[in-house]
Structure 1
Amino acid sequence: MISAVDNSSRSIMPKASTVLLWVAAAVPAALLAALVLTTISLRTANAADDAAACTGKNLLTDLQQTDPAKYASIMAEGDKVANGKSIFWKIEKPGMRPSWLLGTMHVTDPRVLSMPKGAAEADRAADTIIVESDEILDEKKAALALLAKPELTMFTDGSTISKYLSADDNAKLEAGLKERGIPLTAVSRMRPWMISSVVALPPCEIARKAKGAEFLDQKLAVDAAAAGKQVKGLETLADQLQAMADLPTEFHLKSLIETLQLGDKMNDVVETMTDLYLSGDIGATMPMLKIAAPDGDDGDSDYAAFEQRIILDRNKVMAEHAAPILANGNVFMAVGALHLPGDQGLVELLRKRGFTVTAVQ
């Protein structure tokens, strides 16, 4: 989904925000969720219909009424984030046709799929489409590619996730999965970040994905391929999962349990992220997360590691791989909105490579 990265915001990061941000933007959680659902042969036939299941509310709207000063503080923090006021950008360089950059949410929400004004036209007119990974064109092939590296998705030593959890946390996990129609035994050998990809998504998102709905990046890639256009990926799904695997297992376990602690409030977090995304105010996302996190000490060291490995390192790779493709002009590039803002975000990195990048209002 979305967020913004800036050093000035690190001091206010809630300890649960790392997993929220990952699910929101850093890895296509919708695809991971689909792979989990496929692996356990689950189809949410018994789930509530999409409209009824989408029950989230905007936390900032409530906060604006109950605590205007706190609301103002959060929005002020968001205003400090460089390039945090747009999800759609025009990329130019002398002698080439303009290209476009869209920050995405990796969700199937129809509001997100509609895209901001001008984006659909730019997408249709482009010769080449860039996404984070072109493997999202075929979920079955993506699953097979990940099976080639089972250590990225599964415990390969015969252990289960319950081995790493206290009895209390294991009970929380079992109950949280049961609410989503998933037995613990079906996912017990999966790495915690795979389980998080399902746990952190609202029921309506899981239901839509189980029925075959495509998330935004995936739809753009599939439609482009069907139209005979080139679809280029900046990294592989294995690259994305390797970045997650490079962080300590303890970090992922803690994040998983903290997400479960949010319970139904996760629906509110996702709805708030979606509203901020739709308004283009992505810089306010991280400050917003502090009002949603479970009580506890800040996890600054956890966040620093997460930010470096999952966001900043990948930003550099994306910019490096995208630049020569963008040099041909008339490209439509769509990546998670988390990767755009900040002084080390894609917008700034592309500017440093000689491109003029301006927000499309």
Structure 2
Amino acid sequence: MTIPALAFNVDVLFRRAQNAMLWLLAALHILLLASLFLVLGSLSEADAATPACGGENLLADLKAEKPGLYEEILSEGSRVPNGKGLFWKVEKTGIAPSYLLGTMHVSDPRVLKMPPGAAEAQAEASTIVIESDEILDEKKATAALLSKPELTMFTDGSSIEKLLPREDVALLEEGLKQRGIPLAAVSRMKPWMLMAFVSLPPCELARKAQNAAFLDKKIATDAIAAGKQVKGLETLAEQLSTMAAIPMDLHLKSLVETIKLGSRMEDVFETMTELYLSEDIGLTMPLLKAVAPDGTDDQSGYGEFEELVVVKRNQLMAERAAPILTEGGAFIAVGALHLPGEQGLVELLREQGFKVTRVE
């Protein structure tokens, strides 16, 4: 059995892409955790040879097929507070300025190149802050995972085969097989861990197999090399607990739809990357909402995702960042999705009395 390269119409394509993009936004950092497991570690050097990256921006399809909807997305995105920009200056009278950078948790060389002024601000900062400083120590990260196996594995005798219909199990088995991973070896992994093996485009998967640094880790390791203090705003267990709190149905749906997308997952990844590179972070949520399938269940799932993965984590990050920012001279790097919106970090820090302005 093979997964056919389907000629998707724009509606089917975007409905499937919406689920995949939701998961990527929620859990790109989970790829970092999954890479600690033996599956990626078992790839041979030949398997790990980095292929050329491909993919096209899906917004171009939408612009051509549904120009009205495309314009609506642009219009809504333009109204998102702080929706444009990746790099922000954080100030308060009497305190040395700090900086806030939105990142993307991938090793794409385009993403590793920070916006103008960010490298200089990083070099001058006395404290570097990332989402979780546990990523600096693989032994520590692994210990954190093993201490709570229920967050990554089914520990109740269940398995992915028991949760999916037979035809979806066959799709999953074939999708994993194409990546050199037998289903039997990972069948007791939670779906958010399995997604790490089917959602990455080949070029990013190969870079991960070669232990290439993603932007957040590069920032942190550079800081350690320079003798700077590195702090985290969350623990890995907290991040995994957030994933576990998302309804299982949404995880399973995202897993199956991602496999059905096949090679077009490269388009999803490229779309996310180009939104990041153009600093149009505010377009992300309007895009997902616009292409979501009709139906209260999907809308409910989306709302729960936004509350758990975006709003609550933003509030926690802002609370933990406040005392660090009060000391001054900090450089904070977190996923770019956490910056925009009424409940984004930029607005939450302003509510704490900081002046936050975009660095252009």
Would the alpha carbon gap of residues 39 and 249 (structure 1) be closer, same or farther in structure 2, given more than 3 Å must change?
same
Contact 2:153 2:189 in 1 (8 A): yes
Would the alpha carbon gap of residues 44 and 22 (structure 1) be closer, same or farther in structure 2, given more than 3 Å must change?
farther
| Equivalent position of 1:42 in the other structure | 42
| Equivalent position of 1:84 in the other structure | 83
Corresponding residue SS for 1:43: coil
Contact 1:85 1:280 in 2 (8 A): yes
| Equivalent position of 1:17 in the other structure | 18
Contact 2:103 2:334 in 1 (8 A): yes
Equivalent AA in structure 2 for residue 45 of structure 1: E
Would the alpha carbon gap of residues 21 and 129 (structure 1) be closer, same or farther in structure 2, given more than 3 Å must change?
farther
| Equivalent position of 2:243 in the other structure | 244
Deviation at 1:130, TM superposition (A): 0.5
Would the alpha carbon gap of residues 66 and 275 (structure 1) be closer, same or farther in structure 2, given more than 3 Å must change?
same
Q: Deviations over 1:15-74 (max 9, x none)?
A: 8635523423555133033124x356422534474342x111112234444544333222
Is 1:286 the equivalent of 2:285? yes
- Larger mean CA deviation between 274-283 and 284-293 belongs to 284-293
Where in structure 2 are the equivalents of 1:244-323 lying within 5 Å?
244-289=243-288, 297=295, 299-323=298-322
Equivalent AA in structure 1 for residue 348 of structure 2: L
Contact 2:51 2:206 in 1 (8 A): no
Query: d(CA) in 2 for partners of 1:158 and 1:141?
Result: 27
| Equivalent position of 1:10 in the other structure | none
Query: d(CA) in 1 for partners of 2:51 and 2:326?
Result: 43
- Larger mean CA deviation between 97-106 and 254-263 belongs to 254-263
- Larger mean CA deviation between 335-344 and 43-52 belongs to 43-52
Query: d(CA) in 1 for partners of 2:349 and 2:186?
Result: 40
- Larger mean CA deviation between 154-163 and 102-111 belongs to 154-163
Q: Among the aligned pairs, what percent are the same residue?
A: 60
Equivalent AA in structure 2 for residue 358 of structure 1: T
| Equivalent position of 2:182 in the other structure | 183
- Larger mean CA deviation between 314-323 and 158-167 belongs to 158-167
Equivalent AA in structure 2 for residue 83 of structure 1: N
| Equivalent position of 1:4 in the other structure | none
RMSD: 2.1
Equivalent AA in structure 2 for residue 220 of structure 1: I
Deviation at 1:198, TM superposition (A): 2.4
Where in structure 2 are the equivalents of 1:129-140 lying within 5 Å?
129-140=128-139
Q: Deviations over 1:233-279 (max 9, x none)?
A: 01100000011112232221122112222222211011011111111
Corresponding residue SS for 2:35: helix
Corresponding residue SS for 1:50: coil
Equivalent AA in structure 1 for residue 91 of structure 2: E
Equivalent AA in structure 1 for residue 42 of structure 2: L
Deviation at 1:285, TM superposition (A): 1.9
Contact 2:26 2:309 in 1 (8 A): no
Query: d(CA) in 2 for partners of 1:290 and 1:55?
Result: 25
Query: d(CA) in 1 for partners of 2:198 and 2:204?
Result: 11
Would the alpha carbon gap of residues 19 and 55 (structure 1) be closer, same or farther in structure 2, given more than 3 Å must change?
closer
Query: d(CA) in 2 for partners of 1:272 and 1:261?
Result: 18
Contact 2:88 2:358 in 1 (8 A): yes
Gaps of 5+ in 2: 1-13
Equivalent AA in structure 2 for residue 356 of structure 1: K
Query: d(CA) in 2 for partners of 1:300 and 1:15?
Result: 15
Normalised by the size of structure 2, how large is the TM-score? 0.90
Deviation at 1:75, TM superposition (A): 1.4
| Equivalent position of 1:104 in the other structure | 103
Contact 1:15 1:297 in 2 (8 A): no
Q: How many residues align?
A: 346
- Larger mean CA deviation between 40-49 and 112-121 belongs to 40-49
Would the alpha carbon gap of residues 290 and 182 (structure 1) be closer, same or farther in structure 2, given more than 3 Å must change?
farther
Corresponding residue SS for 2:249: helix
Corresponding residue SS for 1:89: strand
Query: d(CA) in 1 for partners of 2:294 and 2:263?
Result: 19
| Equivalent position of 1:122 in the other structure | 121
Equivalent AA in structure 2 for residue 35 of structure 1: L
Q: Deviations over 1:99-119 (max 9, x none)?
A: 110111000001000111111
Query: d(CA) in 2 for partners of 1:22 and 1:97?
Result: 37
Corresponding residue SS for 1:57: coil
Deviation at 1:82, TM superposition (A): 1.1
Deviation at 1:197, TM superposition (A): 2.1
Q: Deviations over 1:306-355 (max 9, x none)?
A: 11112111111100000000111111100011111110111110000000
Deviation at 1:143, TM superposition (A): 1.5
Normalised by the size of structure 1, how large is the TM-score? 0.89
Query: d(CA) in 1 for partners of 2:100 and 2:334?
Result: 8
Equivalent AA in structure 1 for residue 167 of structure 2: D
Equivalent AA in structure 2 for residue 82 of structure 1: P
Deviation at 1:175, TM superposition (A): 1.2
